[in-house]
Amino acid sequence: MAVYGNMVVTKQGQALYAKVQAGTPMQFTRLQIGSGQLTTQLSSALTSGTSYTSIPVQALTSPVASGQTITIGTGSTTQTVTASAAVSIGATSIPVASFTANANYPAGTTVTLVSDPTTLTGLLSPIDWVPINSISTNGNTANILAIYQNTKLQQPTYTCEIGLFAQDPQAGEILYAYANAGAQGDTFPPYSAGPYSRQFQLAIAIGNATEVTANVPTGTWIPVSQMGVPNGVATLDGTGNVPLSQLGNVPKPGTASSTALGLIQLPPSAGTPTNPVAVYRPVSVKDMTLTSTSATTVLTYTPAATGQFKVSGYLRIANAATSVTVTLTYTSPSGSQSITLVPQYTLAVGDYTITATTFEATTSAITLTATAGTANNVTISAVLEAV
């Protein structure tokens, strides 16, 4: 899973925040994901006392503008230089105003392209917009939920940027807050590998805003875990509400018997617990190493009663590109089922999300298996839970 630091409110966002404290309504519009990184690395060494008019770097994931300030090194030994021309994503050299290296900087030294992300007015390398699904407030914080779907992705795509946009009454739509995971982002699968979604949950400071809203487009997907929708998702109607016909029975807090086998669902007006679902706590495995090239059972569970479940997880390829297959088997009311969650194709070194899948299973075993092309090169984590 991606590891993002705290989101920072941009300079534009800080200006809007001040207006909101004075009574301007806060309106969040949408999220955006991207692949640009704030730093890169030297691809070859710089020698102390030597003059340079360019710096060799690993292939850039974000563009560099002419006049942009760049810092070489970290800690107590650094040197700041200025880009003398613009370069695009993928470039392996950055032209800079002539400078003399003040120290030896070996290959692999950090090169900081953006030292202050609050100055950003957009993502470094945008990929796609993400609609906001819901928003709620808790004191001085807005809790925002957004769900991304991979319908536009044609190839595995690395993502490490998140931007939250808002409407400023004078400046228009602005980048309000920003976060970057750097090299600890996620690679999203292409749509050809199967439908995939990623849920983003953000907690954003709003101060004493008296009115906080968000744009929630008609047709937005709603998670079953929040709405209790029997088939997994609901779509908003023309007024922005979930139609009552699409709402299923939602678990009623505080009514489950301590001896119940699972989560309890109640008919809307009944007081007697019914339909015990099999998983009371999620069944999970974390960072299991696939030690052979044979099919390995990642997790298995036998429900005590028929119910709806969701399985999700991620892979990490450690040393070299290899093929991986992940398969889910279970028995639904209509018979035995087998779903390939990760098709067998070669994956590069990095992290990969396993497409979350919701399904209905009877009292036969639910099993998740994985097969790696090389031993001791793949770790897998997964969770099976009731929905």
Task: Kindly report, residue by residue over 26-49, the tens digit of the pLDDT.
Answer: 889 999 999 999 999 999 999 999
**Cβ-contact 353, 189 below 8 angstroms:** yes
Query: pLDDT digits over 132-186, tens only?
Result: 888 887 778 888 888 888 888 889 999 999 999 999 999 999 999 999 999 888 8
Whether residues 129 and 22 fall in one domain: yes
Q: Where is the domain boundary, 113, 140, 170?
A: 113
Whether residues 166 and 290 fall in one domain: no
Distance CA 150, CA 352 (A): 13
Q: Nearest to residue 66, comparing CAs of 89, 84, 91, 80?
A: 84
Whether residues 202 and 336 fall in one domain: no
Q: Where is the domain boundary, 113, 140, 167?
A: 113
Q: Quick one: pLDDT at residue 345?
A: 65
Six token digits for residue 198:
């990623």
Whether residues 80 and 169 fall in one domain: no
Q: Kindly write down the DSSP assignment for every residue of 237-306, as one continuous string.
A: -TTS---GGG--PPP-TT---TT-SS--B--TT--S-B---S-SS-EEEEEEE--SSS-EEEEEE--SS-
**Cβ-contact 38, 112 below 8 angstroms:** yes
Query: pLDDT digits over 257-272, tens only?
Result: 222 222 223 233 333 3
More confidently predicted of 214 and 3: 3
The pLDDT mean for the chain works out to 80
By DSSP bridging, strand 378-386 and strand 307-317 are antiparallel
Total count of domains within the chain: 3
Whether residues 291 and 382 fall in one domain: yes
**Cβ-contact 7, 177 below 8 angstroms:** yes
Distance CA 353, CA 107 (A): 31
Q: Does position 277 have pLDDT exceeding 80, yes or no? A: no
78 domain residue, yes or no: yes
Percent of the chain with pLDDT over 90: 41
Whether residues 325 and 343 fall in one domain: yes
Whether residues 68 and 91 fall in one domain: yes
More confidently predicted of 255 and 375: 375
Q: Quick one: pLDDT at residue 314?
A: 87
Whether residues 347 and 300 fall in one domain: yes
Distance CA 371, CA 344 (A): 9
Six token digits for residue 305:
């009663």
Task: Identify the domain containing residue 93 by its residue range.
Answer: 39-113
Query: pLDDT digits over 52-91, tens only?
Result: 999 999 999 999 999 999 999 988 999 999 999 999 999 9
Query: pLDDT digits over 328-352, tens only?
Result: 999 998 889 988 887 766 788 888 8
CB atoms within 10 A of CB 88: 9
